[in-house]
Amino acid sequence: MTDLLTIGNTQLHNRLLTGTGKFYNHKLMKEALTQSGSQVVTVALRRVDLNASGEENILEDIPKDMILLPNTSGARTADEAVRIARLARAAGMGNWIKIEVISDQKYLLPDNYETAKATEILANEGFVVLPYMSPDLMAAKAMQNAGAAAIMPLGSPIGSNRGIRTKELIQILIEEMELPIIVDAGIGKPSEAAEAMEMGAAAVLVNTAIATAKNPVEMAIAFDFAVKAGRKAYLSGVGPTTTTAQASSPLTGFLG
């Protein structure tokens, strides 16, 4: 049986989402994206220059078979996110949108309240909305009710490579939400991507860790393996972990 991830009306067979930021050249970015096996790539509308050509136009270097997930990077309010989303759609970048509303430039933490507002407006306008958020169950439910297609909680602050520090909160989202949970931000190593997948996350989004690796192409491949391994482990039923050894001769075995 094929293990597919459904977002909106689209079925994906790959569970690694990638990004276009922080690469030192577009050629390398293209190669890393291709080798990652990823089907969805996020790109900041603020960086897209539709009038440019060649190296200046980032869209030309994104593999054509990938689904574009424009993001609203730079938005500080719901209103700005909505306007950026509309510009992205008008620019022919499809109707998927990752909402990023960040009004804190130090830790780059998302504003859940403004994000939920933007989710509602854009979902009503027919966008497939993936909100980036701080893992909070009530906020996630509000975004689900507002029409989100998936929920993207952060593992730790953007670009921090600190791993899944919000593990307990993300686990609650995985248990309680019907929508796919895509862990976004903070994943610094393939082992952390595998960890998120073992926990039952539907997918992960990885950008900084690939783009800023010494060899981004090989790192993209490593993440591809890790996501697949983590997913397989989850589907196979990861055994419970304990800190103490289990007695090999049970005391109550005689009860039959």
Partner 1 sequence: MSFYEEYVQIKNYPFDHFFSTITIQDVRKVLQKESLHTEDFLILLSPAAEHCLEEMAQMAHQRTVQHFGRTIQLYAPLYLTDYCVNKCTYCSFSIDNDFPRRKLTLAEIEEESKALVKMGLRHIILLTGESRLHSSVDYLCETIDVMKKYFSSLSIEIQPLDTDEYQTLVARGIDGLTVYQEVYNEDIYKEHHLKGPKRNYRYRLDAPERGAKAGMRSVNIGALLGMDEWRKEVFFTGLHAQYLQKNYLETDIALSFPRIRPNLGGFQPKVDVSDRNLVQAMLASRLFLPRAGMTLSTRESAELRRHLLPLGVTKMSAASSTVVGGYANKEHTHSQFEISDKRSVAEVKESLRELGYQPVVKDWEILTHSS
Please indicate whether residue 117 is annotated as part of the active site: no
Nearer to partner 1, 128 or 211 (CB): 211
Q: Are strands 10-12 and 16-19 parallel, antiparallel or unpaired?
A: unpaired
Question: Per CB under 8 A, which region of 92-100, 129-137, 139-147, 157-165 contacts partner 1?
Answer: 157-165
Total residues in contact with partner 1, by rule CB under 8 A: 31
DSSP-assigned beta bridge partners for residue 12:
5
Q: Is 159 in the site for partner 1 (CB under 8 A)?
A: yes
- Residue 54, SS3? helix
Q: How far is CA 6 from CA 13, 127, 161, 213, in A?
A: 9, 15, 27, 30
By CB under 8 A, residue 22 contacts partner 1: yes
Among residues 80 and 136, whose Cβ is nearest to partner 1?
80
Report if residue 212 touches partner 1, rule: CB under 8 A: yes
Q: What is the CA radius of gyration of the chain?
A: 19
Interaction of residue 189 with partner 1, rule CB under 8 A: no
Contact predicate 138/176, CB 8 Å: no
198 near partner 1 (CB under 8 A): no
Antiparallel, parallel or unpaired: β 128-133 and 96-99: parallel
179 is an interface residue for partner 1 by CB under 8 A: no
CB of 159 to partner 1, least distance (A): 5
**Window contacting partner 1 (CB under 8 A); options: 142-150, 156-164, 217-225, 243-251:** 156-164
98, 117, 141, 228: the active-site residue = 98
How many Å apart are CA 148 and CA 192, to the nearest integer? Answer: 25
Residue 165 as a binder of partner 1 (CB under 8 A): the answer is: no
Contacts of 25 (CB under 8 A, 6+ apart): 55
Q: Could you say which of 35, 66, 67, 83 contacts partner 1 (CB under 8 A)?
A: 83
Tell me the pairing of strands 203-206 and 16-19.
parallel
Chain residues 122-151 in contact with partner 1, contact rule CB under 8 A: none
> CA-to-CA distance for 243 and 256, rounded, in angstroms?
27
Q: What is the token pair recorded at 79?
A: 């209103």
CA distance 24 to 216: 10
Token pair listed for 89: 């759609």
87 touching partner 1, by CB under 8 A? yes
Task: Report the interface residues with partner 1, using CB under 8 A.
Answer: 21-26, 45-49, 52, 56, 74, 76, 80, 83-84, 87, 102-106, 108, 159-161, 208, 211-212
Residues with catalytic annotation? 98
